[in-house]
Structure 1
Amino acid sequence: MGLLVLVTVLGNALVILAFVVDRRLRTQGDFFFLNLAVADLLVGGFCIPLYIPYVLTGEWRLGRGLCKLWLVVDYLVCTASVFNIVLISFDRFISVTKAVSYRAQKGKTRNAILKMVTVWIAAFLLYGPAILSWEYIAQKSILPEGECHAEFFYNWYFLMIASTIEFFTPFITVTYFNLSIYLNIRKRVSLRNENLSPGQEDSEMSFQGKKGNTPLTRDKRVAKSLAIIVSVFGLCWAPYTLLMIIRAACHGHCVLHALYETSFWLLWVNSAINPILYPLCHMSFRKAFTKLLCPRKVKIHPHIFM
């Protein structure tokens, strides 16, 4: 658990530091990666550390007030993380399918900041009011002494609606974006091949090899990176979402606690994996990370940042 905290905090802090240090990362699309890193950093820096003594002792000993705060922040940052992935996917989708208009808006950060703020507001409104006011509206609390979970923990109807907004709709949306990008690239490759004779095609492929930066090549990288991010998101979130709904429907009697607990931790693992995906899937972050972690390499090979 301590290792997960360390990896999550350091990884996402590195993403934020790279954004601060490298001005080239301050584009509209990269602002959304920053927003995701902030949400994931809060997961590792606040949510997991407060949960560790709870899961080890089996009892919440930090008081009801801190329990409420922990629940609000945990649901907020996890939901914000999902909504940020949707925002990143939409940004990648527009960059490929409407490249001209996207480049015209690339340097304008006001719209990006507005979208970032909207993500946090929407994430809070999904669970925050319910966490804070459920027991007052119901005029009773179902939370036993020494436990800390949301009052709607076993309310199947609420969880089904919230899960649809938090997971099912985002997952279908990002899958659609990914599929659209793939079809767009496939269509462009097909049109390019139709317009080239066999000799020209070989020449074009040779030229493409000499030049890992044409629009089509960049878009293929975007498609691959988005596919990886979406796949990891689905693998980390699907088990918890499904088990949460089933658990609520049968009031916890049909789902093993250990299985549910494992799926719960899998959500937080996603926050540790995300910063690892950035350098793998994003050339700009890879260069910035190299600059921060391997300054000697930059001095010896300055051309990699040209």
Structure 2
Amino acid sequence: GEAYPMGENRRALQYGHFSSSTSVFLAVLMTLLVLATVLGNALVILAFVVEKSLRTQGNFFFLNLAIADFLVGGFCIPVYIPYVLTGEWRLGRGLCKVWLVVDYTLCTASVFNIVLISFDRFISVTRAVSYRCQKGVTRQAVLKMASVWLAAFLLYGPAIVSWEFIAGGSVVPPNECYAEFFFNWYFLMTASTVEFFTPFISVTYFNLSIYINIRKRNLMRAGQPASMSTRDCEMEMRHPKVAKSLAVIVCVFGLCWAPYTLLMIIRAACHGRCIQHYLYETSFWLLWINSSINPVLYPLCHTNFRRAFNKLLCPSKVKVQPQYMEQKC
């Protein structure tokens, strides 16, 4: 039968219609995003090499997030850049499938890791005593990290690989690369609930609970020095700074993911006829921008991470003024 229903054998994503100057400008922007994403997350990964004190259960969740975001910048975006600039997928259907599976898995893993980090922070505040007793990477922590990757793959991977065989044919033209369920509203709505709506509600709940708990503690202490259960910066801040820090985490996550999720669902419902392409494409890039923001948003709020970054970026300053650097953190 007809493999490309409703005239979808045209260029679905409408790329490749840029002037030379626009193409150069876009190429520079995308290259800068790749560099920012790779270097930022590489710094987080290297921090675990230079700073042994980072190798705690909670901090390994940051490592898990950094690995996912590093691969987004190192593989997913570079493969996509020629597709944007030329308007054609020239790497074959096999690599298209691989790229889609990896991209969907990594982006979803990034989201799930953010939920895991927020949950870990929540436990560190609400169950401070038991959390403080945990040292290193426990078996439970390893299982959580592995579960993130397994769940991220299972959400989209099997569908990407097997959809056309179950449906009896492909709806993707030979010179294009997008998932077979690109216009399937029911599947996307279900997947989006797991990938964005539920995580967003969870992250909001965990961070709001952290703020409320810290606020109650500080009120009870009536200005007395606090006994810290972790070395997280948010535990060392007053009521306004805590609120600002946690609000930024929730808002950045929402702003990066909500536009894409909503436009993807609407686009699928109207089969791409009611959403301007540039709006959808802009929302799509916000997902990858989130991977470049995460290294700044999460690890930099921790004393040990900042110390490790100082060792990597300013080794001479650390050697000359170790006590100052420690106090600054």
Q: Does the TM-score normalized on the shorter chain lie above 0.5?
A: yes
Output the CA distance in 1 between the equivalents of 2:236 and 2:201.
Answer: 21
2:319 corresponds to which letter in structure 1? K
Report the alpha carbon displacement of residue 224 of structure 1 after superposing the two structures with TM. Answer: 5.3
Q: 1:258 is matched with which residue?
A: 278
For 1:103-122, what aligned pairs fall within 5 Å after superposition? Answer: 103-122=132-151
SS at match of 1:59: coil
Report the alpha carbon displacement of residue 107 of structure 1 after superposing the two structures with TM. Answer: 2.9
Output the CA distance in 1 between the equivalents of 2:234 and 2:252.
Answer: 21
Report the alpha carbon displacement of residue 187 of structure 1 after superposing the two structures with TM. Answer: 1.7
1:49 to 74, 78, 81: 78
For 1:149-160, what aligned pairs fall within 5 Å after superposition? Answer: 149-160=178-189
Output the CA distance in 2 between the equivalents of 1:292 and 1:41.
Answer: 18
Output the CA distance in 2 between the equivalents of 1:26 and 1:277.
Answer: 19
2:235 to 219, 225, 232: 219
Q: 1:178 is matched with which residue?
A: 207
Report the alpha carbon displacement of residue 4 of structure 1 after superposing the two structures with TM. Answer: 0.5
CA contact (8 A) 2:129 2:229 kept: no
2:150 counterpart of 1:129: no
Deviation digits for residues 126-173 of structure 1 (CA, Å, limit 9, x no counterpart): 000000000000111100121100000000000000000000000000
2:272 corresponds to which letter in structure 1? G
2:294 counterpart of 1:294: no
Output the CA distance in 2 between the equivalents of 1:113 and 1:215.
Answer: 22
Output the CA distance in 1 between the equivalents of 2:314 and 2:106.
Answer: 31
Q: 1:232 is matched with which residue?
A: 252
Q: 2:17 is matched with which residue?
A: none
Identify if the C-alpha distance between structure 1 residues 279 and 39 changes in structure 2 by more than 3 Å, giving closer, same or farther: closer
CA contact (8 A) 2:132 2:229 kept: no
SS at match of 2:133: helix
Q: What's the TM-score, normalizing by structure 1?
A: 0.90
Report the alpha carbon displacement of residue 282 of structure 1 after superposing the two structures with TM. Answer: 1.7
Stretches of structure 2 that go unaligned for 5 or more consecutive residues are 1-29
Q: 2:5 is matched with which residue?
A: none
CA contact (8 A) 1:19 1:26 kept: yes
Output the CA distance in 1 between the equivalents of 2:171 and 2:131.
Answer: 50
For 1:185-200, what aligned pairs fall within 5 Å after superposition? Answer: 185-193=214-222
SS at match of 2:177: coil
1:282 to 302, 306, 312: 302
Stretches of structure 1 that go unaligned for 5 or more consecutive residues are 194-200
CA contact (8 A) 1:12 1:40 kept: yes
1:99 corresponds to which letter in structure 2? A
Output the CA distance in 1 between the equivalents of 2:249 and 2:260.
Answer: 18
CA contact (8 A) 1:174 1:230 kept: yes
Output the CA distance in 1 between the equivalents of 2:128 and 2:247.
Answer: 19
Output the CA distance in 2 between the equivalents of 1:107 and 1:300.
Answer: 30
2:29 counterpart of 1:7: no
CA contact (8 A) 1:181 1:223 kept: no
For 1:199-214, what aligned pairs fall within 5 Å after superposition? Answer: 201=223, 204=224, 208=225, 214=228
2:179 counterpart of 1:163: no
CA contact (8 A) 1:18 1:289 kept: yes
Q: 2:265 is matched with which residue?
A: 245
Output the CA distance in 2 between the equivalents of 1:16 and 1:226.
Answer: 23
Q: What's the TM-score, normalizing by structure 2?
A: 0.84
SS at match of 1:105: coil
Percent identity between the two aligned chains? 76
Q: 1:270 is matched with which residue?
A: 290
1:36 to 54, 62, 65: 65
Q: 1:198 is matched with which residue?
A: none
Structure with the bigger percentage of helix:
1
Report the alpha carbon displacement of residue 223 of structure 1 after superposing the two structures with TM. Answer: 6.5
2:48 to 9, 16, 19: 19
Identify if the C-alpha distance between structure 1 residues 43 and 108 changes in structure 2 by more than 3 Å, giving closer, same or farther: closer
Output the CA distance in 1 between the equivalents of 2:300 and 2:42.
Answer: 17
Report the alpha carbon displacement of residue 109 of structure 1 after superposing the two structures with TM. Answer: 2.9
Output the CA distance in 2 between the equivalents of 1:19 and 1:223.
Answer: 28
State which drifts further: 218-227 or 79-88.
218-227
